[in-house]
Structure 1
């Protein structure tokens, strides 16, 4: 086999600027510590904001205020987003309460549950960063590798009716996360002020260049595809046989991001290639990540994700390289079925007799009255907490005799409607977008309440109110809310304009296709109305909207759109 790995012994100056920055960063230290002490700016100067991503921190500013502050000759209204690393999204009651207290003290925009099953704290000012990071440490949590060119937080799906299997899979997800995170001493040195001088080999798994781009790993428990397993760089699909976890089908090469300005940039679904035994999963993930580390493109950053490595070198090459590193080939994939990619909301009892209750959280935003309601609830709640990849909050490990009392408490605090929300809302996602995301070109989260109301009114016109459709809106094409796996998706192009994607599946196993570009709200109504009318008249019993569009060949008649590049 021809070895086509990136030659990391070559002159680093021939690689992308980000690779050069990492190589000279002293294992992610840079001059971050010095920048934190600079009182003359609310920012961390120079290139250090890029390194801070590896520490789980994004430097941002309030874009609503940019023009006014520029006119007044003031620097941008700098602030930071801090993303926690929470493998599988599991928290204790005390950890949730601790995060709530930290958010009230240090974050100006509350708590946000993300589509990666973790928590982001927005609006943190530079003088508060160290205190916040140390507060997170005191809760037994951290933020390392929640961003950056590394293995991001490992997500884990939920099937509440299979509690014993879920426990096994969640344990493997945590083991995988711990195995894949960077081991650099920069993190405790900068944030905890511990003594960790740089060493040449302090992060042997990653080396001085870390990964070419981010690497996402996810575990899913069929038939619920809540993590959108086909959007992961490495997806592990639990195979349940006779009620027991037999192992995992593995799928590789998923990725939701793209650039509208490049023809060679595209979203991609992961492909199922084989099966592994359950106890092999953490080590297997490390091997696959190592292949991407060694063969990913380090010159063209926009072609550096694992999906492009596989498309460039091919599945046959990958399987041969994988077998060489493992010492054995993959076994044949086993049958499985997926039924939905939303969360099963409400109460569900597991095979261990314990109950789970999933609460709908609109856009994952916990702030204002909702934050106060949850604060009151957790004062008397004794179970555990789990965040979902659909931005919801799950109460877990509830004993049979506790369920009635918890339900009363939810009723008293006005939280019980979140157990059974509007069906369409429960299958709708958006990203943060404006005003803080630097990549956003259009609104998403702030626009969603009005857009969802418009969408529901349009559905009602054609008698479709009771039929859920996966709907996702993002402020740019990068795909944080997994739009390309939705039945209907809008990705931001400019203020008030979006690309419209249609035809993904309700199960999350088919990619949507571009239907129209530069779509305004009025144009969206004009485009969707005839499709909803056709669906209401010609759909088969129990048929979902995306499946109908494909079966009825309606996507083949997509409007001709000239998209400026």
Structure 2
């Protein structure tokens, strides 16, 4: 295999990780998944298959809240599966929303999770319902292949057309890239849809990925200035749309972003992408593919913690990486075109696009769509979907946009939003609207501490401090994760919390409001009491000493509270 030969050339020791063995021996992602699904003596699947099922869009998980109790009862962990739907650009129809709402009731835990990559997640799917759930997702005309695993994952894109008239062009490109980089194996259809596809006597082939796929996950996002609502620099490839005469002329390419790190490995770190230059619209897919191929050939297959494209670029050097890329393409990048990002986060409330249609941005607390107590969010959104008068656009910040609404339909949707207290949400600080938390406990195997279940309670206390300092109307980016893998993009928060152990967090400060600068470690292993004590001082100082229009992330740098990291620059 060419990719293996290249790896032996780059890494003479050639000691690939065990995941590489699993992929190589899997027969294009089949492994023993069918046998695992049919083994009803356990709620789990075979160990090797836990890696392969990721490529099909699912993770095996367990309820960690019950681990001790079940161990005492001599029972295996309470296994279940998370299923992630691949949905390029985050655009779903009303019928798809209804189908997923129903599926969450009958096959999952009666909630829908809207992720930071504009995907749907189902949680709590037990093994005997896993195959049927996958089939029903496919019945909705969406699927789960490549939503996880060592391949290109869900391609992100700005969804709210009220932001920019370029959104339809950007969305079209997101779909094209997603389809182009989709794995070509027929294993998905065979295992989940019982389709024995005819290959005319030929075996499966992966013309882009090869038999071993990529060394690690790969992420692509598109942003349309002035909004960086997809945190474009945090992706392996970030495409920044450049406008000319009302259309997308092409994209500035940023490469090498990625936020995951490991506390115990100093050689791991968050990184924002380098801007290589500009590529015309019609050449975009060719350039994207060649970057993926470069990562396939040069990425680290020995140490998965250093296998993302960011490490490949830093190992080679940006100049050599660019040279290899342009040599393969047979042409070079044009100089990057001017653009300006004003902010990231979502645009909330009602706004009208240039085409006359209406879009309403909704706050969904940490992306969890559920009914809880008197707050019937899930029911209200189902009622709106049943009207069939809008589509549903997931954002990169765990939010939701109801889109493409005609003038005559705006009133009835607005009435339902008010009836179910979905929008406007009263008495909510701007900081809370912009807050992001990953799933963390109780299902994530990586989490050291809480995030989604805890941040709302912490925000209640932070809101008191904001109110004391007249800062409730000020947008401040707060992000929390239960571990340093970066799923909630904590290193791009003006205030970032990263779980270190149960109930304790590292606190980071100083990211930029538009997403072009990482934050800096401020203090380690803080308890809630210590977090609130720090914020009382910091937010009071910010309220009293900030300059006109100064963002919190910039303020802490100007005052020397932390040393700010450099912003992304054109290469």
Q: TM-score range by the shorter chain?
A: over 0.9
Q: Which residue of structure 2 lines up, in the alignment, with residue 302 of structure 1?
A: 305
1:330 to 1:528, Cα distance in 2 relative to 1, 3 A: same
Q: Which residue of structure 1 lines up, in the alignment, with residue 394 of structure 2?
A: 387
- Partners of 2:531 and 2:420 in 1: CA distance: 38
Indicate which of 283, 288, 301 corresponds to 2:286.
Answer: 283
Contact 2:160–2:359 (8 Å) recurs in 1: no
1:300 to 1:258, Cα distance in 2 relative to 1, 3 A: same
- Partners of 1:442 and 1:239 in 2: CA distance: 41
Which stretches in structure 2 are left out of the alignment for 5+ residues? 565-571
TM-score scaled by structure 2?
0.94
Contact 2:169–2:247 (8 Å) recurs in 1: no
How far does residue 190 in structure 1 lie from its aligned partner after superposition? 0.5
- Partners of 1:7 and 1:109 in 2: CA distance: 48
After superposition, the CA RMSD in angstroms is: 2.1
Q: Which residue of structure 2 lines up, in the alignment, with residue 426 of structure 1?
A: 433
Indicate which of 243, 247, 269 corresponds to 1:244.
Answer: 247
Indicate which of 445, 464, 468 corresponds to 1:438.
Answer: 445
- Partners of 1:538 and 1:11 in 2: CA distance: 56
How far does residue 542 in structure 1 lie from its aligned partner after superposition? 1.1
Contact 1:360–1:421 (8 Å) recurs in 2: no
Contact 1:360–1:419 (8 Å) recurs in 2: no
- Partners of 1:409 and 1:460 in 2: CA distance: 30
- For residues 397-441 of structure 1, the C-alpha deviation after alignment (integer angstroms, 9 at most, x for no partner) is 112222223212322333232499531221100000000000000
Alignment of 1:136-215 (within 5 A): 136-161=137-162, 164-196=165-197, 200-215=203-218
How far does residue 97 in structure 1 lie from its aligned partner after superposition? 0.7
Q: Which residue of structure 2 lines up, in the alignment, with residue 102 of structure 1?
A: 103
1:485 to 1:5, Cα distance in 2 relative to 1, 3 A: farther
How far does residue 384 in structure 1 lie from its aligned partner after superposition? 1.4
Contact 2:512–2:518 (8 Å) recurs in 1: yes
Q: Which residue of structure 2 lines up, in the alignment, with residue 121 of structure 1?
A: 122
1:154 to 1:254, Cα distance in 2 relative to 1, 3 A: same
Indicate which of 443, 459, 484 corresponds to 1:452.
Answer: 459
- Partners of 1:10 and 1:323 in 2: CA distance: 23
- Partners of 1:4 and 1:266 in 2: CA distance: 28
Query: Which of 13-22 and 105-114 deviates more?
Result: 13-22
Query: Which of 229-238 and 363-372 deviates more?
Result: 363-372
Alignment pair present for 1:552 and 2:555: no
- Partners of 1:234 and 1:9 in 2: CA distance: 23
Contact 1:111–1:121 (8 Å) recurs in 2: yes
- Partners of 2:58 and 2:168 in 1: CA distance: 30
Q: Which residue of structure 2 lines up, in the alignment, with residue 364 of structure 1?
A: 367
Contact 1:249–1:276 (8 Å) recurs in 2: yes
Contact 1:496–1:520 (8 Å) recurs in 2: yes
Query: Which of 285-294 and 62-71 deviates more?
Result: 285-294
Query: Which of 528-537 and 48-57 deviates more?
Result: 528-537
Alignment pair present for 1:416 and 2:417: no
Query: Which of 529-538 and 293-302 deviates more?
Result: 529-538
Query: Which of 69-78 and 237-246 deviates more?
Result: 237-246
Which stretches in structure 1 are left out of the alignment for 5+ residues? 558-565
- Partners of 1:9 and 1:519 in 2: CA distance: 42
- Partners of 1:556 and 1:112 in 2: CA distance: 36
1:9 to 1:320, Cα distance in 2 relative to 1, 3 A: closer
Alignment pair present for 1:257 and 2:260: yes
How far does residue 383 in structure 1 lie from its aligned partner after superposition? 1.8
